[in-house]
Chain A
Amino acid sequence: MTVDFEPRLTRDWDDPGVIGIDGYAAKGGYEALGRAVTMADADILELVKSSGLRGRGGAGFPTGMKWGFVPRDTGKPTYVVVNFDESEPGTCNNRELVERDPHRLLEGAAIAALAIGCETIYIYVRGEYLWQSIVLERAIAEAYGSGRFGADALGSGKRIDVVLHRGAGAYICGEETALLSSLEGYRGQPRLRPPFPAVEGLFASPTVINNVETLMNVPDILVRGSDWFRELGTEKSPGTKMVTISGKVERPGNYEVPLGTPFRVVLEDLAGGVLSGRGLKAWTPGGSSTPMLTAEHTDVHLDYESLAEAGSMLGTAAIMVMDETDCVVDCAQRMVRFYAHESCGKCTPCREGSWWATRVLERIEEGDGRDEDLPVVRDLGKNLLFRAFCALADGTASVINSSLQHFRDEFEEHVRLGGCPLKVDHLEEVPA
C-alpha cells in the first residue's frame, strides 16, 4: 500500500521561501485571514465546527466545540494560547512545521482569535526550541510590518497582538492548565478543573488553548471549506495528521498522512521498515505516554478510534519503534525515568510512585531484581493509573502496564538471570 494524497500541512516544505512572509503570501498565504476579518465570528466558528477538526495535541477534542465554549459576555478579555510546548518523547512535528512554515501557524492562530473575539494571542514555546522561537519572532515581526497584525489588522479595525513566551524546560507545561500557570509567572503545576480554561483560563479570563498542528489546519479550512477538509481522513477523524516516527527504522522523520492510515504503511512505505530488516518488537503510537503495542498490531489504523480499540491512543502520533534487539525493560525504565524527572511534584502518586518505579525498574535492568519486585511493578502501574492530579502519571502507568502486559516474560527473565538477556549496555547514556 502507498500513501497517495495531496499534502496539506507539508505541501510547501520543499519551498524555503515560505518562511518569509512574501513567499508565504505568494503561495496563497494570509488569504484565509483576509477572509476571516470580513466574516462574522460565528461564521468562522461554524465553519471550523463543520470541518470536524479535532485537537492534534493528543486528546483529540473537537476544535470548533472548544472555541464555542468561550463565553463572550463576561466583560473580560478572551485569549488564544498556542501550545507549542512540544515535549512528549518521540514527538517533533510541531517543531518542523514551525521551522518550515511559521506564518501558517500565525495565520491559524489569528483566525482562532477572530473567532472568539480575542485581541491577544500568546504562543508558549518549549524552552529548548530556541531556533524555532527565532523563526517565529521574525515571522511575527513581518506580520506586524505588513499590517496583517497590530491595532488595525489588515485595515479591518480589529486588533491582533501576539506575545511569544519561552518556557523553561518543564514537560508538565504542555498540560494546558500548567501552561497557563507558567505563562502567568507561577510554578508550572496543573490547576483544578473546573473552572475550565474556556471559562477561567489565562489571567482568569476565557481562554482557548490549541496545539500548533491544530491551528495550522485552520487557514485551509477557511479557504477551501469543510467539505474539502473532510475529503481525507475518516468520518470521525477527518483531515491529515503529522506522524513522527523514530527509533529502529530506516528513515525516521515527520510524515503527513491522512488520519486512518494503517501503521504498516507508515512503517514500511514511509519509514522504510525496521532498521536493517530486523523484526519489530514493540512500538508506541503516540509518544512514550501511550501504551506500547506489538508486532501483532501492525495493521492498526492510525486514528483516534482504531487505536483506542487496540488499547492505546493516537496521542501526538509519535511512533517509536523498538526492534527485536531492544530490551523492553530498559526502554520502560528510560521512559519511566523521564516521567519521574518531569513529575511536577504536586501530587503524591506521580511524585512518589514514578520515583519508586524508576528505582525498581533500574534495579531489574541492572540485574538486582528480586521476585518480590514484579508484584511491586504491577501494583505501581495499577496505583498510578487515574490516581494522580493530571494525566502525566497516566503516561507513566501506561509504560509500566503495557510493557508488563505484552512482555511480562522479559521482566521475569531479567530477574531469573540476574541481568538483561539482551545484554544491552545500559550504562551507555543517550547523548544529551
Chain B
Amino acid sequence: MARPAAPGITLTIDDREVTVPKGTLIIRAAEQLGIEIPRFCDHPYLAPIGACRQCYVQVEGQGKLQTSCTSTVAPGMVVRTQNTSEAAREAQVANLEFLLLNHPLDCPICDRGGECPLQDQALAFGPGESRFVDAKRVFPKPVPMSPLVALDRERCVLCARCTRFCDEISGDRFLELFARSAGERVSIAAGEDFRSPFSGNTIQICPVGALTATPYRFVARPFDLTSGDSVCQHCSAGCNVRVDVRRDEVVRVLARENPEVNDAWICDKGRFAFRHADAPARITTPLIRDRGLEPASFGEVLTWVAERCAGARVAFLTGGRLTDEDYYAMSKFARTVARTNDLDHRRAFHGGLAELVAAAGATDRETSVTYADVERAKVILVAGLDTEQEVPILHLRIRKAAARGARVVVVHPRRTRLHDVAEHILVRPGQEVSVLDRIREGVDDGSPEARIAASIRDAGDSAVILAGERLAEHPLAADVALAVAAKTGARFGFVTRRANDRGALSTGVHPDLLPGGRRLDHAEERAEVEAVWGPITASEAGRNAHEILEACAERAVDVLFVIGADPLRDHPDAALVRRALANVGTLVVHSLELGDLEPFASAFLPASAAIERDGHLTDWEGRWQRIRPVRGALGISRPDWEIFCGLAAAMGADLGFETLDEIRREMASLLMPRSVGERPNVWAGAGAPQWIDDLTVFTYPMLVDEGRLSDRADELKAALEEPAFAEMHPVDAEKKGLSDGATVRLATERGDVLVPLRVTEHVAAGSVFLPFNQPGVAANTLLSGRSTAAVRVEAAEPVGSADVPAEAAEAAEAEEATA
C-alpha cells in the first residue's frame, strides 16, 4: 500500500529497532521485522476492531497488556511480543484456550484443516490437553448463507472479519452478528440470501473453517493441491489469483494479494467460475469437417487449413481473453502471411477510445489511470459503465475511494450498485456524451452537471473520469473525453471490459491499428512496424468485426478464423452472425469446444485453456501481468501463437519466432513506450439531445450470465444469476399500459423476444434495459451491431403461449402457483 512520506517513528520490538510511518499499528510494525504476532480478527484491509484479543503484547510503561492490532506505534516505544514476554505469551495461550473451549476440533474433516490459523496456533503453543470437561455449545450446521456459502457456527471464532468485509468493503451488508454472549453468531436476515458478488471473500478471510464454499466443501485437503499463481480472465480488472488444482482438475480459486491491483479481493465469478476448462464438451484434438469432424493430427489440419488460406480472402475474429503473445502472433500472421487487415477483437464499435488507449495508454503511462489513481481521487466520474457488474474489483476500489471521501458520480442509463456512495445521473443510452459535454463547457446553472464540473475543476488532476464500453460506442466518445480532460485537468481512463481487450488493442488485433497503436494508414508508423516484421503484405484496408461478418454473409470472405470467441452469443447481431457463418467458405475455430459453432465449423484447432498457458494479460489500466500455466495442456491442445507459427510454416512462411521468449523480445521493441503526436480533436459540442426513437433498448452483460466462462458454475449461477428480465421506467410503462411483472414483447427491426418486465425508476425514462446473455433470452437477436436499438414494447400473451419453450412455460406456471 502507498505510504505517506511522513517522517518515520522508531520503536523497539523484541529488542530490535524498526522505523515505520506514524499511525502504524504495532502488529504491522512487527511484520516489518518478520515477527508474526498471532491474530484472528485483524486483517490489513479491514478497520481494527480488537475483538479476538489474541495479539496481546507488552508495552513497557503500560500496566495492562495491549492488543497490537489496535495500538499505534509511538516514538521510543518498547514492545515485547510472545517471543520475549512471558506475560504476553501467557495471555495468548489463555486466549487460545478460550477460543478452543467450544471449538468442535473437527480438523480432520474441515476444509480449513492444514491451512487454518487456529489449528496452526493450537499446534504451535496450545496445550496438548483441554481442561474443559463440560458440554460444548452446539449449533445446527451447516447453515446455508447462499448457494455458495455455508456456515459452520461451531467452528466460528466470531472475529467479525466476514461482517466487517460486508460492511466496510463490499457494502453488501448481508452478514451480521446476531444475539449476544455465548449465543452470539454470524447470521443473515430471515429469508435473505447472501446475494453479493463478493461473498466468496468472506470465506477466504475466515480464519477458521466456519464459512465454507459449497463448491469446495469436502473436495480436497490442502496437501493434495498443487497451486499456481495466475491472473483472472473473467474481466479486465486483472485480479491476481491462485489456482488450486487437484489431480489436474481445478477445484478452487483464491485471491492473491496485490495492493496495486485487487488488494486482497476477487469477485465471485473469478472465484467460482472455474470449471469451463474441464467441461465434458472440451475437445483436445484437431477436427476436420471433411472427415465428419473426426480427430486429426495437427500436421494434417494445419496443412488442410493452409491449403484453404493460400490466395484466399481471410478474416479473423477473436475474443478478448487471449494473451498478448497470442494476439501479437495473430496480428503478424494476418498481415504478413494471410495478407489481410480484416481482424478484430471487439464486439462493437469503439468511438475512438480504443485507438486512444492503444496508442497512448499501453505505451504512455502518463495519460493512463491506475487503481492507485482511483483510490486517491477526490472526484470520480464514471460514464457508460456498471462497475459492479462489469469490472467488480474496480467497483470495490471506487467504494474505497468513496469511503475516504471521494465524490463519485455515475452517468449511466441505469442505477448501479454504487448508488449508496455515488450520485447517479440517469440518461438515455448514448446521451452520456451530452452530460460530459455540459461538464466540459462548465455550465453554471445549478444543474448536477454544474456542480460536478465545479468539483472536477477543484480536484484538478485528483479527478478521474472512467469511461466504459457504452460511452465508447459514441462516434466522438474519445474526442469528448479528451476535451473534458483537457478543459478540467482531470485524468481519463477507458475501462475495457474483457480480460485482455487492452492487449488485443496494443498488439494490433484491430483493422486500422498495428502494434503499439501505430496507424496502418500512417506511412511513418507503418514503416516502424515493417522494420521489425518485414513488409505488410495485406493491401486492402481492414474491416471491423461487424463489417467482417457482413462480408462473410455476402460471401466476400473465403476463410474465417474464429478464435476464442462465440459470435453467435456475443456479437450484437445474432441474425447477421448466423448468415455469416452459413455463407463463409471455410470456418476455422480455435477454441476449447465447438458448442453452437459445430454446425458451421470446417476445422477445429484445440486451443489450450488459459490455466494451461504462459503469457501476458493487459488489464484495463494498461498493466502488463504474467500468467503461468497451472497445469499441462490437455490432449494435444496448444496456445494460439503456436498454432499460428505452425500454420505459417505450413504456408511456407516464417513468423520469425518459435518460442515465447522470442515473441516477447520482438513484441517488446514494438510495444516500448513512444511519444504520440497530438491528436486533432474534432469535438465541437454535442448539440441538442436527439430523441430519435420513442424507446431505446440497451444491453450489457450481467456479471453472472449464460456466458461460456460460467459454464458448469452451477452454485454461482444459483447464487447470483437472475431469471430473464427487462427493465422500464414507470413513466414509459404507464404510457404503454404495462405493469410490473407482465410479460412483454420487445421488438426491433432485427427480431423480438418475450420477457417479464420490471417497472423501476432506476432506469432512465425512454430506455429499456435487457441484460445481454440471459437464460432463455438472447439480447443480441434484437441488435444490429451496437448495444442499443430502437425498440417497441407491447404486452404479450401470458407466458405459456406457443412461442415459449415448454420448460420456460412450466417454470412460469410454477412461479404463478407459488405467487
Other A-B pairs beyond A192-B70, A359-B134, 7, CB < 8 Å: A345-B180, A347-B51, A347-B52, A347-B53, A348-B158, A351-B184, A389-B51
Q: Flag A164-180 by CB within 8 Å of B: 1 or 0 each.
A: 00000010100000000
Closest to B64 in A: A386
Interface size grouping (class) on chain B: 35 or more
**In the complex with contacts A349-B95, A356-B132, A389-B53 CB distance below 8 A:** yes
B91 at the interface (CB under 8 A from A): yes
Q: Please give, as numbers and ranges, the residues of chain A lying within 8 Å of B157 by CB-CB distance.
A: 348
Q: Please give, as numbers and ranges, the residues of chain A lying within 8 Å of B65 by CB-CB distance.
A: 386-387
A410 at the interface (CB under 8 A from B): no
* Stretch among A85-93, A137-145, A336-344 lining the B interface: A336-344
Report B481 CB to chain A, min CB distance, Å: 37
A359 to B179, CA, bound (A): 20
**In the complex with contacts A192-B70, A348-B54, A351-B184, A383-B177 CB distance below 8 A:** no
Closest to A340 in B: B181
Closest to B103 in A: A352
Report B11 CB to chain A, min CB distance, Å: 19
A27 at the interface (CB under 8 A from B): no
A369 to B102, CA, bound (A): 20
Q: Please give, as numbers and ranges, the residues of chain A lying within 8 Å of B63 by CB-CB distance.
A: 386
A345 to B182, CA, bound (A): 6
Q: Flag A352-378 by CB within 8 Å of B: 1 or 0 each.
A: 111110011001000000101000100
A-B contact pairs, 18 of them (CB 8 A): A187-B177, A345-B182, A345-B184, A346-B158, A347-B50, A348-B52, A349-B98, A352-B99, A353-B98, A355-B181, A363-B134, A376-B131, A383-B94, A383-B97, A386-B65, A387-B53, A387-B65, A388-B53
> Are B182 and A355 in contact (CB-based, < 8 A)?
yes
Report A111 CB to chain B, min CB distance, Å: 35
Report B73 CB to chain A, min CB distance, Å: 14
Closest to A343 in B: B181
- The listed residue with most A CB atoms (<10 A of its CB), out of B51, B133, B182, is B182
Query: Which 10 pairs, one residue from A and one from B, show the smallest C-beta to C-beta distance?
Result: A345-B184, A383-B94, A352-B98, A355-B182, A343-B181, A359-B134, A386-B64, A345-B180, A348-B53, A348-B98
Report B185 CB to chain A, min CB distance, Å: 9
Q: Please give, as numbers and ranges, the residues of chain A lying within 8 Å of B101 by CB-CB distance.
A: 352, 355-356
Report B51 CB to chain A, min CB distance, Å: 5
A379 at the interface (CB under 8 A from B): yes
B56 at the interface (CB under 8 A from A): yes
Report B187 CB to chain A, min CB distance, Å: 12
Report A70 CB to chain B, min CB distance, Å: 23
> Are A379 and B64 in contact (CB-based, < 8 A)?
no
Q: Flag B137-157 by CB within 8 Å of A: 1 or 0 each.
A: 100000000000000000001
Closest to B72 in A: A194
> Are A341 and B181 in contact (CB-based, < 8 A)?
yes
Report B319 CB to chain A, min CB distance, Å: 47
Q: Please give, as numbers and ranges, the residues of chain A lying within 8 Å of B180 by CB-CB distance.
A: 170, 172, 342-345
B49 at the interface (CB under 8 A from A): yes
B228 at the interface (CB under 8 A from A): no
- The listed residue with most A CB atoms (<10 A of its CB), out of B97, B99, B137, is B97
Count A-side interface residues using an 8 Å CB cutoff.
33
Q: Which residues of chain B (22-49) have a CB below 8 Å from chain A?
A: 48-49
Report B154 CB to chain A, min CB distance, Å: 13
Q: Which of B70, B95, B177 meets A348, CB within 8 Å?
A: B95
**In the complex with contacts A341-B181, A345-B158, A352-B98, A383-B52 CB distance below 8 A:** no
Q: Please give, as numbers and ranges, the residues of chain A lying within 8 Å of B133 by CB-CB distance.
A: 370
A340 to B101, CA, bound (A): 15
> Are A379 and B94 in contact (CB-based, < 8 A)?
yes
> Are B53 and A340 in contact (CB-based, < 8 A)?
no
Q: Please give, as numbers and ranges, the residues of chain B lying within 8 Å of A341 by CB-CB distance.
A: 181
Report A102 CB to chain B, min CB distance, Å: 31
Q: Interface on A for B, CB 8 Å cutoff?
A: 170, 172, 187, 192, 340-349, 351-356, 359-360, 363, 370, 372, 376, 379, 382-383, 386-389
Closest to B176 in A: A187
Q: Please give, as numbers and ranges, the residues of chain A lying within 8 Å of B97 by CB-CB distance.
A: 383
Report A387 CB to chain B, min CB distance, Å: 6
**In the complex with contacts A349-B95, A349-B98, A342-B181 CB distance below 8 A:** yes
Q: Please give, as numbers and ranges, the residues of chain A lying within 8 Å of B54 by CB-CB distance.
A: 348
> Are B51 and A340 in contact (CB-based, < 8 A)?
no
**In the complex with contacts A348-B99, A383-B91, A387-B95, A343-B182 CB distance below 8 A:** yes
Q: Please give, as numbers and ranges, the residues of chain B lying within 8 Å of A387 by CB-CB distance.
A: 53, 56, 65, 91, 94-95
Report A397 CB to chain B, min CB distance, Å: 12
Report A189 CB to chain B, min CB distance, Å: 8
Report A284 CB to chain B, min CB distance, Å: 22
A309 to B797, CA, bound (A): 86
Q: Which of A187, A345, A349 meets B53, CB within 8 Å?
A: A349
- The listed residue with most A CB atoms (<10 A of its CB), out of B70, B132, B133, is B133
Closest to A342 in B: B181
A372 to B91, CA, bound (A): 20
Closest to B98 in A: A352
Closest to A170 in B: B180
Q: Please give, as numbers and ranges, the residues of chain B lying within 8 Å of A354 by CB-CB distance.
A: 181
Q: Which residues of chain B (163-204) have a CB below 8 Å from chain A?
A: 176-177, 179-184
- The listed residue with most A CB atoms (<10 A of its CB), out of B98, B132, B133, is B98
Q: Please give, as numbers and ranges, the residues of chain A lying within 8 Å of B53 by CB-CB distance.
A: 347-349, 387-389
> Are B70 and A356 in contact (CB-based, < 8 A)?
no
Q: Please give, as numbers and ranges, the residues of chain B lying within 8 Å of A363 by CB-CB distance.
A: 134
- The listed residue with most A CB atoms (<10 A of its CB), out of B65, B134, B137, B180, is B180
A211 to B685, CA, bound (A): 65
> Are B132 and A348 in contact (CB-based, < 8 A)?
no
Report B502 CB to chain A, min CB distance, Å: 41
> Are A340 and B182 in contact (CB-based, < 8 A)?
yes
A372 to B102, CA, bound (A): 19
Q: Which residues of chain B (101-142) have a CB below 8 Å from chain A?
A: 101-102, 131-134, 137
Q: Please give, as numbers and ranges, the residues of chain B lying within 8 Å of A345 by CB-CB distance.
A: 158, 177, 179-184
Q: Please give, as numbers and ranges, the residues of chain B lying within 8 Å of A348 by CB-CB distance.
A: 51-54, 95, 98-99, 157-158
A352 to B181, CA, bound (A): 8
A280 to B249, CA, bound (A): 74
A363 to B132, CA, bound (A): 13
Q: Please give, as numbers and ranges, the residues of chain B lying within 8 Å of A389 by CB-CB distance.
A: 50-51, 53
Closest to B160 in A: A346
A354 to B184, CA, bound (A): 14
A115 to B131, CA, bound (A): 55
Report B131 CB to chain A, min CB distance, Å: 6
